[in-house]
Structure 1
Amino acid sequence: MMGNQTKGLIGLMVFLLISACGQEPEEPPISKTADFELPAPISNNAVALAEGPDGPTLYSFNGLKSGKNWQDTSNAAFACVISSEKCEEIAPVPVSEGRLASAAVTVAGKIYLFGGYTVAENGDEVSTPELFVFDPKTQDYKRLTDMPTPVDDMVVLPYRGRYIYLVSGWHDEANVGLVQLYDTQFDIWSMATEFPGKPVFGHAGGLANHSMIITDGVAVAGLVEGRRKFAAAPFAWRGDIDPGDPARISWRAVKPHPGETFYRMAAIGDNDRGQVIFAGGGDNPYNYDAIGFDKIPAKPSDRIFVYDLKSDAWQEKGRLAEPSMDHRGLVKSGKNYYIMGGMDADQAVTARIMKFRIDD
């Protein structure tokens, strides 16, 4: 057996070796399955965090139920109080049909819920234009001005406690490169600098301070026998917002994250850290049932990536407690990040809530 002196010498040698390579040893993130779960399994759901009547609360809207067919689109909404670890079903989103691939963000204490798409029995899918604001205190929904161009599977990003960006996404028959800008103060829409990359859906992104990162997703790669062919889009773009004009974005391509491209990762921008955090995601693009466009079932990832805006570089930050995919967002309370619902390694819809933290 080694003595303490020998162990200490080996540890010092490892530290010096790592330091010589220009790296510092990192503690892995604390990642685990939470001790509470959603009232029902749900995937592809819009998620947000807001101050509810009982404190910080996780919210889920719309999504896909366990059956994973056209009849399983949902307009259900759930609220999970973090302090008590209790979840309940709340008033549903006031639409007649369920919605998939919608998105939600919190601005000035209220949750803004955007679009999604409906699925008919014959497989027809329609992008919906609705914008609702949900008040966590009263649990009331209010319809606001519709999106100029209805999109789903887009990235939705809050900015400066007032504005919300909708980046790219799917509109009925094709992807669009639009960046739609919503002003919550005046309930009006405008257009920001267009997204320069190949238009995509199912991509992920976050905005921290004045910069956004948009990565991955699915692009249309031509036609095969008259049918659209879809392919993963291994790219990453950085958009720097003009502080004097939120409609002006300076875009530039940045290095993609290490490894394979993922679909529907959970993501969020963290102003305090000056970083954008990405977690999970599927390894094979699909529509909504987790069976790929190539008929191969998608498998979820457990990887956690961070894009550090100051160093302009990717960092890999460990693993989730369990692989997870089919997400529309990541939420943060305190130092903890939460993933709500999604699909597991067997493509099963889950009620699981996972949380993790990234230590400095």
Structure 2
Amino acid sequence: MLFKKPKTIALRIFLGAVPQFSFVLSAFIIAATATVSAAAAPISLPALPEPVSNNAVASVFIEDTQYIFSFMGLGVGKTFKDVHNRAWQLVINEDDSSKRNNAPQWQALPPVPSSLTLKGRLASVAVGVKDSVYIFGGYTVDEDHNEISTPDVYKYSPTTTKYERLAPMPVPVDDATALVYQDRYVYLVSGWHNDGNVNLVQVYDTQTGQWQQASPFLGNPVFGHAGGIVNNTMVICDGVSVTPHSNKRRSFAAETACFKGKIDEENPFKIDWRTLQHPTGSARYRMAAAGDEATNKIYFVGGSTNPYNYNGIGYNGKPSTADGAIWTFDIAKETWAIPKTEAEAPTMDHRGLIDINGTWITIGGMIGAQHVTSKVISHFSTLEEVCCLSKSQASSDVSIQASDGQAVEVVKSASNSKCQHQNDIYGAK
């Protein structure tokens, strides 16, 4: 998802230092000038009124007010009975946020409608486009564990608090990745459709209300993958692919792969897909991801290296645990960096990453032993990064691994000491 650089909001954000990072991968070393804060900056945002995981999240700006949303998802019991269609909204107003006794609070919204008999659903995706939120797909689960991918698309307006049903998806998908281009087109990349994954890139035009197919995804079709977009460049990583067998039912396997897709500036339905070197060689499932125009980077947070069913237990029968690393892809340099994070807790089971005035958060998800949480967790801040980028000057010849395998030179800031702290090596798992 791409969230544009928001207007300044007077939140209580305490900035940490922005270190340099390096990590060892297989037989080579990636050394990089780090641009993500190792210490997640705490922000004064309350927890959700109830724990929820696998919820669709989004954010929009209307004038000087930011609206943050959580739609549907899974409750603490983690059974089919705990799949719901409840929705919540957090309003961050510039005037209110400066008053200590008037901190923002989550507000209940009308439940998300559905064309299916079962109203609650999992693995939906939501994106903000201009002053509205668009909610796509997801799946229902019944007591016999039957799962149905829904074709539903709804537009929610914060100003009217109403949902509007839109043209359904040509191919209903869940656990897809949704990316916004030109504040108009929404790209649904791959995902699960009832009985298997699809390689489709379905594009919804929010101006005309019509669907079209873009160049298909060239990787193995997956679900539970993650991605972000900046301008016309998107990056998609990992997820789960389907493995067929001759003597037993299909099985699921982690898909370790990253792809870069560049949208043709003359034709929004033409995408040039290219492979990217993977940052670690170990896939993660249901990460939170987003692109950031201010830094020209795409960030991946959390997820699990053990793909799992909706209850957090792996398809291999083993409990899944969350990963706390942050993957950072620099679009201009085509390089990866992986900083450590000092976020409150590693998280997994996400549908998106939200930017709150330069601090990037997840809403809900699973922490610890597949514990469904209500927490809003701050993972890192890019405020210092933007400052450093604007003041940087060449002073070092630190090498970094590019996606084509060639060593390139990066620039280290010498004008701001907060940009020069050295971080410990973080190894691939």
When normalised by structure 2's length, the TM-score is: 0.76
Cα deviations by residue, 1:201-256 (Å, 9 ceiling, x for unpaired)? 00000111110000010000223743111000000000001011100000010101
Aligned counterpart in structure 2 of residue 56 of structure 1, from 42, 50, 66? 66
Q: Secondary structure at the match of 1:324?
A: coil
Aligned to 2:104: 85
Hey, what's the Cα distance between the residues in 1 that align with 2:369 and 2:41? Answer: 19
Moved over 6 A (4+): none
- Farther off after superposition, 182-191 or 320-329: 320-329
1:43 aligns with 2:53: yes
Aligned to 2:357: 334
1:38/1:240 CA distance change after superposition, 3 Å = same
* Residue type at the aligned position of 2:133: I
Hey, what's the Cα distance between the residues in 2 that align with 1:49 and 1:66? Answer: 24
1:69 aligns with 2:93: no
1:63/1:33 CA distance change after superposition, 3 Å = farther
1:165 aligns with 2:187: yes
* Residue type at the aligned position of 1:248: K
Counterpart contact for 1:38–1:88, Cα < 8 Å = no
Which structure is richer in relative contact order (CA contacts within 8 A, separation 6 or more)? 2
Hey, what's the Cα distance between the residues in 2 that align with 1:308 and 1:27? Answer: 12
Hey, what's the Cα distance between the residues in 1 that align with 2:153 and 2:274? Answer: 30
Shift, 1:28, TM fit: 3.1
Hey, what's the Cα distance between the residues in 2 that align with 1:79 and 1:163? Answer: 24
Q: Secondary structure at the match of 1:240?
A: strand
Cα deviations by residue, 1:57-83 (Å, 9 ceiling, x for unpaired)? 210001001100011111010112233
Aligned to 1:31: 40
Cα deviations by residue, 1:176-198 (Å, 9 ceiling, x for unpaired)? 00000110000000000000000
Higher strand share goes to which structure?
1
Hey, what's the Cα distance between the residues in 2 that align with 1:27 and 1:211? Answer: 20
1:258 aligns with 2:258: no
Aligned to 1:277: 299
Aligned counterpart in structure 1 of residue 221 of structure 2, from 180, 199, 210? 199
Aligned to 2:369: 346
* Residue type at the aligned position of 2:230: A
1:131 aligns with 2:153: yes
Counterpart contact for 1:54–1:81, Cα < 8 Å = no
Hey, what's the Cα distance between the residues in 2 that align with 1:201 and 1:158? Answer: 19
- Farther off after superposition, 164-173 or 307-316: 307-316
1:357 aligns with 2:367: no
* 1:305-324 correspondence runs (5 A): 305-319=327-341, 320-324=343-347
The count of aligned residue pairs is 341
* Residue type at the aligned position of 1:357: S
Counterpart contact for 2:86–2:110, Cα < 8 Å = yes
Gapped regions of structure 2 (runs ≥ 5): 1-19, 21-29, 98-102, 386-429
* 1:96-107 correspondence runs (5 A): 96-107=118-129
Aligned to 1:5: none
Please tell me the root mean square deviation across aligned C-alpha atoms, in Å.
Answer: 1.8
* Residue type at the aligned position of 2:50: A
Hey, what's the Cα distance between the residues in 1 that align with 2:336 and 2:107? Answer: 37
Hey, what's the Cα distance between the residues in 2 that align with 1:132 and 1:151? Answer: 14
Hey, what's the Cα distance between the residues in 2 that align with 1:196 and 1:27? Answer: 30
Q: Secondary structure at the match of 1:213?
A: strand
- % identity of equivalent residues: 42
Aligned counterpart in structure 2 of residue 217 of structure 1, from 225, 239, 246? 239
Aligned to 2:113: 94
1:309/1:92 CA distance change after superposition, 3 Å = same
